[in-house]
Amino acid sequence: MRTRSFASFGVTAAAFWLGAAAPALQAQQPTAEDDPVAALVSRLTLDKYKTTLKGLTQFGDRRQGTRRNRDAVDWIEAQLQAFGCTNTERIVYTFPPPPPPDAAPRGTPPRRGAGRRPAPNEGDLTTATGGRVGRRGPGSGGSTLFGYRGSTGVNRDLMAQPDERIRELNREEPVDGERSEVYCTKVGTTRPDEMYIIGAHMDGHGVNEAVNDDGSGTALVMELARVFSAPDVETERSIRFVLWNNEETGLNGARAYVAQRQELQGVEDPPGSGRYPEPRWVGMVQHDMMLWDHGAPGPDGLVSRNQRPEADVNVEFQSNSERADDSMRLAFLFKAANERYATDYPAAVGPHMTNTDSTPFMDIVPSISLRENERGAQVGAGWDPNWHQPTDVWTTYTDDDFRLGLNAGQTTLAAIAQLTGAGIDN
């Protein structure tokens, strides 16, 4: 039975969530002995995070529609089960998605520009050339940018990958058809019908190992599944750990989840069983590109090889979403959790969550994303020169980079432990 609980921390979190005064910051970091949240956070280690992330690199860029992508989904499922998150399930869907019922029949010439939806990472910044300085108005991310810009885009040239082993891993091209993505669930003890969704996308592209985009988020979510699934950990509310597929083609895996599961929320099945196949969504937290915060490009368009001293975890909500106010509160709760529990890096809150798997949720449920940089302004302006490039490989990153991802994991773990009323049996 539970002998220590997070009840007092849960009350603090709930008060903050409801808009009461923010909890006073403690001068000292809490210790694992007197604070179960700290005890859980201490179970995340840099070594374990790196081991899980390295495991993902054996499947190259895990591009959707290929054998290496399917093998990676199978491997992730096996890992989740080995970590104790044994109730794995899959969402199955087809890509490309079928046209909506009111779409024009095949063969009808499309109207100019009609129905074109930009790919998630295809913003209005992708044609930027290196070293350009200037100001631009609000774009898809709603940001206004000052400063130099680096080039961005997707590299699909197999021969641009200098490492022969990685090149061979990525040789197969995608084919249309069935796709799947995997999730597992920590079932809550007293509120099993309420659930936080914790996600990252396992697919990548760019003839690389997709280490940062988004092995870094995928490993983080898998590590949180490990910590919360330990036999001595209980949570009052449920938590679902989801590894999205087809993010890079237009958030198709997350869109399929919403399309298939939204209506099932909160339904007890069978009635009277206390089981909820789809608990009611109370928050969605996405993790996408966690490692690289090396500052802005210089006048030559190049970015430093060293992490900048101001490196931080960016927690973003979407200011024009229907749940913007609640999402902002959730983001600041994460910032407070970071200040109290993260070991190395601070967190900053921003209003431009965009172009990732939390987008399909943002008008339905409070939604945030955690990232290495501000998505709308900094990532879009070329702050991460490895984004979708052959350099997104294991050897590009140092422990300073990996530790930034670990700190994002500490932040989400601490916040979600408080929000779900986590406790440790002993």
Q: For the CB of residue 68, give the shortest distance to Zn ion in the complex, in Å.
A: 17
Which listed range, 149-157, 177-185, 285-293, 383-391, lies at the site for Zn ion (CB under 5 A)? 285-293
Nearer to Zn ion, 77 or 213 (CB): 213
Distance CA 18, CA 316 (A): 19
Nearer to Zn ion, 193 or 288 (CB): 288
Which listed range, 42-50, 85-93, 111-119, 284-292, lies at the site for Zn ion (CB under 5 A)? 284-292
Q: For the CB of residue 251, give the shortest distance to Zn ion in the complex, in Å.
A: 10
Nearer to Zn ion, 249 or 338 (CB): 249
| Contact status, residue 417 vs residue 11, Cβ threshold 8 Å | no
Q: For the CB of residue 213, give the shortest distance to Zn ion in the complex, in Å.
A: 4
Tell me the backbone φ, ψ of residue 402, rounded to 5 degrees.
Answer: -60, -35
Q: For the CB of residue 217, give the shortest distance to Zn ion in the complex, in Å.
A: 7
Burial class from Cβ neighbours inside 10 Å (0-12, 13-18, 19+) for residue 46 reads middle
Tell me the backbone φ, ψ of residue 206, rounded to 5 degrees.
Answer: 115, 25
Nearer to Zn ion, 386 or 411 (CB): 386
From first CA to last CA, the distance across the chain in angstroms is 7
316 binds Zn ion (CB under 5 A): no
Q: For the CB of residue 201, give the shortest distance to Zn ion in the complex, in Å.
A: 6
Which listed range, 81-89, 254-262, 280-288, 317-325, lies at the site for Zn ion (CB under 5 A)? 280-288
61 binds Zn ion (CB under 5 A): no
Q: For the CB of residue 76, give the shortest distance to Zn ion in the complex, in Å.
A: 16
Nearer to Zn ion, 194 or 288 (CB): 288
- Residues in the chain, how many? 426
Residues 192-251 that bind Zn ion (CB under 5 A): 213-214
Q: How many residues bind Zn ion (CB under 5 A)?
A: 3
Edge-to-edge strands, sheet with 423-425: 2-5, 423-425, 233-234
Distance CA 174, CA 177 (A): 9
Q: For the CB of residue 137, give the shortest distance to Zn ion in the complex, in Å.
A: 25
| Contact status, residue 235 vs residue 420, Cβ threshold 8 Å | yes
Nearer to Zn ion, 10 or 217 (CB): 217
Distance CA 129, CA 151 (A): 5
Nearer to Zn ion, 199 or 421 (CB): 199
Residues 105-124 that bind Zn ion (CB under 5 A): none
Of 301, 384, 356, whose CA–CA distance to 128 is shortest?
Answer: 301
| Interface residue with Zn ion, options 77, 288, 293, 326 (CB under 5 A) | 288
| Contact status, residue 64 vs residue 256, Cβ threshold 8 Å | no
Nearer to Zn ion, 332 or 394 (CB): 394
Q: For the CB of residue 203, give the shortest distance to Zn ion in the complex, in Å.
A: 9
| Contact status, residue 159 vs residue 167, Cβ threshold 8 Å | yes
Q: What residues contact 190, with CB distance under 8 A and at least 6 apart?
A: 236, 421
| Contact status, residue 23 vs residue 337, Cβ threshold 8 Å | no
Which listed range, 17-25, 43-51, 70-78, 282-290, lies at the site for Zn ion (CB under 5 A)? 282-290
Strand intervals (E) in 150-234: 177-186, 191-201, 233-234
Largest CA distance in the chain: 68
Q: Which residues bind Zn ion (CB under 5 A)?
A: 213-214, 288
